[in-house]
Structure 1
Amino acid sequence: MPHFTKLAFACAFSIFGLAAIAQDTVGALSDPEIAHIVGTALKEEIATADLASKTTTDPTIRVFAQATSRAASRAHRTVDDMLTTRDLQATDDPLSQSLSGAAADQRGQLTRLTDAAFDKAYANNEMLYDQMVIGILDVTLSPSAKGGRLKAALETCRAFFKLQLAGTEALARRLK
C-alpha cells in the first residue's frame, strides 16, 4: 500500500475519533472553549500549509499552500478580534487538544514524504481535515455558540474551510 494511502487512512481514523469527541461535547462548550477550538483548527491549517509551501516542489501546490496560510491567518485574526472585543480569553479543552494532536501527527507523517508522494498526501490530508472541521463547526461549535459575534466568526471560519475544501478537492483530482 503506498505511503500516502496509509497516511489517508490514519487521518480518517483520527477524524472518526475527533468526531466522537465533538459529538459528546454538543451544548457543553462555553464560548471561550469554542473560540479556542476554532482557533486551534486555523493554527493547524496554517502550520500544515507552511509545511507544504516549504516541502513541495510543485509550484501549484506551493501557491495554494501559501494562499491557504494567508487566508487562515486572516480568519484567525477574526476570531482573535472577536475575543478582544468581548474581553474573553480562549480556554483550552479536550477537543482542541485532540485536534492539535491529530494535526501534529499528520504533519509528522507528511515530513517523511517527498515529491509526488508528499503532494498527494498533503492534498488528501487537507481534504479530510477540512471536511472534519466543517463537520465540527456544523454539529458542535455553531449550535453551542451563544454570542452573536462568535457565531459570526464561526460563519467566517466555515466559509474559509468550505473554500479550502473545494481547493483541496481540485488539487487531489489534479494529482491522481
Structure 2
Amino acid sequence: MTGAATADDSPLTDAQVAHIAYTAGQLDITAAEQALAKSTDPDVVEFAKLMARDHKVVNDQALALVEKLGVTPEDNPTSQAMSEAAEAKGAELAALEGAAFDAAYVANEIAYHQTVNEALKATLIPAAHNAELKALLETGLVLFTEHRAHAEHLSTMVQ
C-alpha cells in the first residue's frame, strides 16, 4: 500500500481526504465532550474545551471549503476504522473515574494527535489535489502539533 491510499490500495480522492480529516476532528470533539462531562481537574477541563473549540473551528472551515468546491466528503475504510477505534476507546474511558480517567484521556490525546499528525504528513497532505484543501490540512497539522505538545505537558500534571 502506498502512503496515499485507502485500505483497498486505491489512491485517496479529495472527497475521501476531506472525510478522513473531518472525521478525525469530530472524533476528538467527542472525546473532549466526554472529558468535559467526566473530569473535575481544571487543567483537563480547559484542555478539553480547547480541543472541542479548535477542532470545531477546523471542521467548520473544512465544511465551508468542501461546500465552496462542490465536493461531498466520501466515507471510506480509513474513516470507518478511525470511528470504530474511537468508539472502543470512548467505552474504555467511560469505565474510568477521577485521576485514572484524566490520565487515560490525556494519554489518549497524545497518542491520537501523534497518529493524526503522522497521517496528515505522510498521507492526507500528499494525497490532497486541491491547493485550498492541502493548505487547510497544513494549517491543521500546525495546530494539532501544538495540541500534542500541550497534551504532553498536561500529562506531567495528571499522573
- Bin for the TM-score computed over the shorter chain: over 0.9
Using the alignment, how far apart are the partners of 1:66 and 1:175 within structure 2? 17
Equivalence for 2:75: 92
Using the alignment, how far apart are the partners of 1:63 and 1:22 within structure 2? 35
Identify unmatched segments of 5+ residues in structure 1.
1-19
Instruction: Check if 1:49 corresponds to 2:35.
Output: no
What's the RMSD between the two structures over aligned residues?
Answer: 1.7
Alpha-carbon distance change, 96 to 41 in structure 1, aligned in 2, over 3 angstroms: same
After superposition, residues 25-64 of structure 1 pair within 5 angstroms as 25=6, 28-64=11-47
Equivalence for 1:67: 50
Higher percent of residues as helix: 1
Deviation, structure 1 residue 63: 1.2
Using the alignment, how far apart are the partners of 1:150 and 1:24 within structure 2? 17
Instruction: Check if 1:78 corresponds to 2:61.
Output: yes
Alpha-carbon distance change, 146 to 27 in structure 1, aligned in 2, over 3 angstroms: farther
User: 2:4·2:12 contact (CA, 8 Å) conserved in 1?
Assistant: no
Instruction: Check if 1:140 corresponds to 2:123.
Output: yes
User: 1:22·1:95 contact (CA, 8 Å) conserved in 2?
Assistant: no
When the two structures are superposed, what TM-score results if normalisation uses the length of structure 1?
0.85
Deviation, structure 1 residue 160: 2.2
**Matched residues, number:** 157
User: 2:5·2:12 contact (CA, 8 Å) conserved in 1?
Assistant: no
In structure 1, give the amino acid aligned to 2:114.
Answer: Q
Runs of at least 4 residues off by over 4 Å: 20-24
Instruction: Check if 1:107 corresponds to 2:90.
Output: yes
Using the alignment, how far apart are the partners of 1:27 and 1:170 within structure 2? 38
When the two structures are superposed, what TM-score results if normalisation uses the length of structure 2?
0.93
Identify unmatched segments of 5+ residues in structure 2.
none
Alpha-carbon distance change, 23 to 85 in structure 1, aligned in 2, over 3 angstroms: closer
User: Structure 1, residues 115-141: CA drift from partner, whole Å, max 9, x if none?
Assistant: 000000000001000000001111111
In structure 1, give the amino acid aligned to 2:76.
Answer: D
Using the alignment, how far apart are the partners of 2:33 and 2:158 within structure 1? 20
After superposition, residues 116-127 of structure 1 pair within 5 angstroms as 116-127=99-110
Equivalence for 2:135: 152
Using the alignment, how far apart are the partners of 1:89 and 1:159 within structure 2? 25
Equivalence for 1:171: 154
